Amino acid sequence: MTFVHLNIEYKDYNWLPSNINKEFGVEEYSSRLNSLIDLSLPKDKHLSLSLSGGMDSRVILSYLLKNKEINFDTHTFGDPNHPDSEIARSIAKGFGIEHEQFNQGIPDAEKSIEDIREYTSQTLVNNAASAVLQLQNYSNLKGRNIVLIDGGFGEVWRREFFYKLYLRGKNALLEGDIKKIIPHLMLHRANIFNNETSEVMAYGIEAQLNELFTKLPSIRKDNVGDWLDIFAIKTRLTNYYSHEQARLDNYLTSVMPFLQPSIMMDLFNMPTSLRKNGKLFRIIIKSNSPELEKYALAKGLSTHPYFLNSLQSRI
């Protein structure tokens, strides 16, 4: 049996990025990220990149293309006609990369119920149960001699998390008004709970946010972007990504370079002006493999030109 050693680190919940006012620029960041991508794998294993039409997986691909010695292929999950799939397929074809599309579709009713039951129990109902239709495709990679690599949590290096809260709830954040902040965190869906249950959940949300705010750095006008990123680390990373990573570990070995503590420790030492609008990633892609700039980016069910910034792409 062959064991793959990955330099994956673990930190406790109270971990915070360093903030010692040292310069963390593109060159140091790129070097550190490259070390997390260029893994020393046994000869019988290779990397398989989850390639989408987005920015984050494209950054990882730029390193793989630059390093000619890394053995890798790519794959995409879901509808072959989705913009993510179409762009990923186009990129793979353009660079002559072996690429696979996995789309199991909707199973029969009995299998669907069983999959949803298992998925929601493993992830503590922290995501839509329908997400299992996409994530079930990981089972296609089980038993293969691969180590999966993907761009999970790359948004933190693009200042993308809690964008709506940043634009519309900044005053509430500066005031520390939890009741005004909560509406900007909600995704409105059909309410399937009775009033009593809804009240209990609302109370829990407010209580947990109050507790979290006491543990986070104070918010100032000049650090709202950084504060929201640490807020994302303490909420989205621990409540969504961690459970999904644990579930994925049942299938295969995988790594998410963007959320490793060795690189995230310097999050606050990089100016937000360098991270927002994907500026950091665009510099890296131009340096590693500028040919990737000619491919559009996918956002939801639409595509937009590569050069648009975050606000323009949303519009």
Q: What distances in angstroms separate CA 196 from CA 126, 143, 193, 208, 210, one per listed residue?
A: 20, 46, 8, 18, 21
Specify the amino acid at residue 63: Y
pLDDT above 90 for 287: yes
Q: How confident is the model at residue 7 (pLDDT cuts 50, 70, 90)?
A: low
User: Cβ of 181: how many Cβ atoms within 10 Å?
Assistant: 19
Q: Is residue 221 part of a domain?
A: no
Mean pLDDT within 75-91? 96
- 3-state DSSP of 42-81: CCCCEEEEECCCCHHHHHHHHHHHHCCCCCEEEEEECCCC
pLDDT for 13: 57
pLDDT for 2: 41
Calpha distance 202→179 (Å, rounded): 10
Which is more confident, 164 or 9? 164
Q: What is the mean pLDDT of the chain?
A: 90
Calpha distance 315→254 (Å, rounded): 34
Q: Is residue 240 part of a domain?
A: no
Residue 80 near residue 110 (C-beta atoms within 8 A): no
Q: Is residue 92 part of a domain?
A: yes
Residue 98 phi, psi (nearest 5): -65, 125
Residue 205 near residue 213 (C-beta atoms within 8 A): no
In this structure, the dihedral spanned by the alpha carbons of residues 245, 247, 252 and 253, taken in order and rounded to 10 degrees, is: 30
pLDDT above 80 for 8: no
Calpha distance 12→154 (Å, rounded): 21
Q: Is residue 156 part of a domain?
A: yes
Q: Which CATH number characterizes residue 138's domain?
A: 3.40.50.620
Q: Is residue 172 part of a domain?
A: no
pLDDT for 122: 83
pLDDT for 3: 42
Closest CA to 147 of 5, 46, 250, 1: 46
Domain count, the chain: 1
Q: Is residue 66 part of a domain?
A: yes
DSSP state of 90: H
Specify the amino acid at residue 57: S
pLDDT above 50 for 5: no
pLDDT for 315: 80
Calpha distance 280→269 (Å, rounded): 14
Least confident range of 94-98, 104-108, 196-200: 104-108
pLDDT for 125: 78
Query: Residue with structure tokens 């644990």?
Result: 246
Q: What is the CA radius of gyration of the chain?
A: 20
Residue 104 phi, psi (nearest 5): -75, -20
Calpha distance 130→305 (Å, rounded): 30
Percent pLDDT > 70 in the chain is 96
pLDDT for 102: 95
Helix axes 279-288, 26-37, angle to 10 degrees: 70
pLDDT in tens, 199-253: 999 999 999 999 999 989 899 999 999 999 999 999 988 888 888 888 888 889 9
Residue 153 near residue 257 (C-beta atoms within 8 A): no
Q: Is residue 5 part of a domain?
A: no
pLDDT above 80 for 1: no
pLDDT in tens, 110-158: 998 998 898 888 887 777 888 888 888 888 898 899 999 999 999 999 9
Residue 34 region, left (φ>0) first, then alpha (ψ -120 to 50), else beta? alpha
pLDDT in tens, 36-62: 999 989 989 999 999 999 999 999 999
Q: What is the pTM of this model?
A: 0.89
Domain extent for 259: 26-165+251-314
Which residue stretches of 79-131 are H helix? Answer: 83-95, 109-123
Q: Is residue 10 part of a domain?
A: no
**Helix%, strand%, coil% for the chain, nearest 5:** 55, 10, 35
